Amino acid sequence: MTKVKKEMLDRWKADDSAELYGIRRWGAGYFDVSKNGDVVVTPFADKSISVSIKEIINGVLERGMDMPVLLRIENLLDAQIENLHKSFADSIKKFGYQGNYMGVFPIKVNQQQHVIDEMTNFGSKYHHGLEAGSKAELIVAISMLQDEESFIICNGYKDEEFMDLGLYATKIGIQCFFVLEMPGELDLLLKRSSELQISPSIGVRLKLSSKAGGHWSDSGGDRSIFGLNTSQLIQVVDKLREKNMLGCLKLLHYHLGSQIPNIRDIRAALFEASRVYADLVTEGAAMGYLDLGGGLAVDYDGSKANYQNSMNYSIDEYCVDVIEVIMNTLDEKSIRHPVIVTESGRATVAYSSVLLFNVLDQTRFEAQELPNGIPDDSHEFVKNLMETLKYVSPKNIQECFNDALYYRDEVMQKFKHGDLSLRERSLAETIFWNIINAIAREKKKLKNIPAALDGIDSALADIYYCNFSVFQSLPDSWAIGHIFPVLPVHHLNEEPTRNVIIADITCDCDGKINHFTSYGDIKDTLPLHELKDNEEYYIGVFLVGAYQETLGDLHNLMGDTNVVSVSINTKGDYDFVREIEGDSVADVLSYVEYQPKTLLEQFREKAEKGVRSKKITVSERRKILTAFENGLNGYTYFER
């Protein structure tokens, strides 16, 4: 092979980046890398139709909006709703299931008006309804739902106002189910429905004894806070029978928890629930609806495994298993197949949002160059460090590492006791970092790397300071170490040569991302490209459409980011459907009870004092006040 040919073959390609960042593993076919190195969105079955995210960023900037931006791709929300309904329809047909499938979207997963708008608009086609867990959500649901056949499922504790709203909704023809979370709710519901003369559709939330693995599975199991245990369930049945109202008891609901990674847990819970369902029918309840709650997972790391951030099943397998388990349990007793309801939130909206930001600055932990030789009168420990550096090789890597740590600690002790100067300590540190760098280099030659050396790469990783707040935009990443796919959205046809930890601009030591999926593994650093002068480098955090927006907080008073919604058409063009400006500084200050007007007034007085005491001139005062006002009206993030 000629040298040129070999170089061509060896050259880093967009496909290499696709593999490195796992985009085809977690992207569910919605994201890919184009030949020219951009991340593209491919929302349709025809994967040749694609739109570059970098191009969308250009469009955002042209419209005068700054980073960070939360990008919503409406098509992906539509595609996931369609996916779910088609999967259920296929399984229903394949197995000859007699009931149908009805989906509802739990509003808490993303309450933003235009998400619910798109959900109810596109969802009408499939009679996709809404789940409400509070009065505020019920108000949203009864007002936003467009399709009369869609359901509203009312979960959560319900007071009289909540019940009345649901009952009135029932009266005007909205299909509202009241799911009892506690036995006490029944009396109030019966009282209000008899007073208003409206017959309610009642559901019961079952406390399962099955429990699932994963982060959010505490909703299941005997100790779960919500739902009725079996004796409470029987009490409800008896009370309804006494009132001759068993015809109102129509739905059995349970919720095992969110992001259930293991299909076995899903099957086990459904087996238990189906058994309970069958007996409720035998008891004489009308029934007809079995509601499995949420839990359908998202494969955030693309490993297709039973891990917290992943799942060992596909949506198709989920649907097949659901149909199979229900049929197996109910056919035995010749019980009519119920309408299947699920409340999938995460799986329907996670894909549709991408957080985009630019990199502002970096810190590198490269070893500084060593002086030629060290002074003869250097302390013995400093000399020992120098000797260690000379002998680093793959064979004695662990030994050198131990020595380096030992001598560095000794140097620190000597410094603390005043036996060693600041200059000597600085020299020792420089040598120490040279050793660590040498070890990092040499360890690449080893097959089996000693466990003690695991942390070296992250200790030497660059820090890229990025224009976003983890607390505002990725709260689960901070709070529970949840993994979201992170990667640059351009330059993917170039090899990333830096190892990086991402820090946000809150300057909080927790304001960082240091868990990444890489080649199907979890790493604490992310390979990224060298930053270039005068060129912005854009990073995307993917699959952030579920839960992140509303859980986010105002840490360091970083507010809501700008939001842009796009809709891609089959020609490969896209429209900006909505642009929502993020919070201004004045906005976030008013959330914590400051009055921007008063702040300005107070500062104005201070500036006036400055004029009186001749610290500033009148025209300087004017400039200073303008800067203050611009600050108040500006974006809470870094503006270029």
Ligand X SMILES: *Cc1c(COP(=O)(O)O)cnc(C)c1O
**Residue matched to tokens 């056919």:** 331
Nearer to ligand X, 192 or 255 (CB): 255
Nearer to ligand X, 347 or 505 (CB): 347
- CB 154 → ligand X: shortest distance, Å? 10
Alpha-carbon distance of 170 to 371, in angstroms, equals 82
CB 231 within 8 A of CB 218: no
Nearer to ligand X, 158 or 346 (CB): 346
Span of 287-295, 300-308, 480-488, 577-585 interacting with ligand X by CB under 6 A: 287-295
Span of 61-69, 118-126, 183-191, 288-296 interacting with ligand X by CB under 6 A: 288-296
**Residue matched to tokens 């092979």:** 1
Tokens for 2?
Answer: 């000629």
Among left, alpha and beta (phi > 0; psi -120 to 50; other), residue 158 is beta
Nearer to ligand X, 309 or 525 (CB): 309
Q: Is 54 in the site for ligand X (CB under 6 A)?
A: no
Site string for ligand X, 227-266 (x = CB under 6 A): ----------------------------x--xx-------
Contacts of 123 (CB under 8 A, 6+ apart): 81, 103, 105, 129, 147, 150
**562-568 and 574-580 strand pairing:** antiparallel
- CB 80 → ligand X: shortest distance, Å? 11
Q: Is 353 in the site for ligand X (CB under 6 A)?
A: no
Alpha-carbon distance of 228 to 207, in angstroms, equals 5
Burial class (CB in 10 A: 0-12, 13-18, 19+), 351: buried
Alpha-carbon distance of 323 to 327, in angstroms, equals 6
Which of 52, 87, 120, 155 binds ligand X (CB under 6 A)? It is 155
Nearer to ligand X, 56 or 256 (CB): 256
CB 73 within 8 A of CB 354: yes
Site string for ligand X, 296-335 (x = CB under 6 A): x---------------------------------------
Span of 91-99, 299-307, 337-345, 511-519 interacting with ligand X by CB under 6 A: 337-345
Q: Is 293 in the site for ligand X (CB under 6 A)?
A: yes
Alpha-carbon distance of 177 to 154, in angstroms, equals 6
CB 257 within 8 A of CB 214: yes
Contacts of 282 (CB under 8 A, 6+ apart): 333
Contacts of 601 (CB under 8 A, 6+ apart): none
Nearer to ligand X, 37 or 294 (CB): 294
- CB 208 → ligand X: shortest distance, Å? 13
| H runs (alpha helix) in 96-150 | 113-123, 135-144
- CB 291 → ligand X: shortest distance, Å? 9
Q: Is 291 in the site for ligand X (CB under 6 A)?
A: no
- CB 160 → ligand X: shortest distance, Å? 22
Contacts of 256 (CB under 8 A, 6+ apart): 208, 210, 211, 212, 217, 219, 220, 265, 266, 269, 293, 295
Nearer to ligand X, 66 or 343 (CB): 343
Nearest to 100 by CA among 319, 346, 268: 319
Nearer to ligand X, 34 or 155 (CB): 155
Q: Is 443 in the site for ligand X (CB under 6 A)?
A: no
Alpha-carbon distance of 11 to 453, in angstroms, equals 30
Q: Is 345 in the site for ligand X (CB under 6 A)?
A: yes
Count of residues engaged in binding ligand X, rule: CB under 6 A? 17
Which of 294, 302, 511, 527 binds ligand X (CB under 6 A)? It is 294
Q: Is 636 in the site for ligand X (CB under 6 A)?
A: no
Minimal CB distance residue for ligand X = 294
Site string for ligand X, 107-146 (x = CB under 6 A): -xx---------------------x---------------
Residues of this chain that bind ligand X (CB under 6 A): 106, 108-109, 131, 155, 255, 258-259, 293-296, 343-346, 546
